[in-house]
């Protein structure tokens, strides 16, 4: 699996946790930054998952 696919998979799991209210907004942002750094995803890759905090 390439890094973009792994990144998308990790973000999907993280979004599920956020939607079920199992992580706070702060934790979500920290984990998202870690995942972005880990897979070296730039700005374009992050556009796949815009910040939609509600």
Residue indicated by tokens 């374009």: 44
53 assigned to some structural domain: no
19 assigned to some structural domain: yes
26 assigned to some structural domain: yes
User: What is the predicted pLDDT for the residue at 53?
Assistant: 55
52 assigned to some structural domain: no
How far, rounded to the nearest angstrom, does the alpha carbon of residue 36 sit from its chain's CA centroid?
Answer: 7
pTM of the model: 0.70
Residue 25 — φ and ψ, nearest 5°? -60, -40
Residue numbers of the domain that contains 41: 3-46
* pLDDT (tens digit per residue) in 11-49: 999 999 999 999 999 999 999 999 888 887 765 555 555
Q: How many independent structural domains does the chain possess?
A: 1
């Amino acid at each position: 699996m390439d890094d973009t696919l792994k990144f998308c998979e990790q973000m999907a799991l993280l979004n599920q946790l956020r939607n079920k209210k199992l992580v706070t907004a702060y934790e979500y942002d920290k984990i998202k930054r870690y995942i972005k750094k880990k897979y070296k995803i730039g700005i374009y890759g992050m556009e796949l998952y815009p910040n939609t905090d509600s």
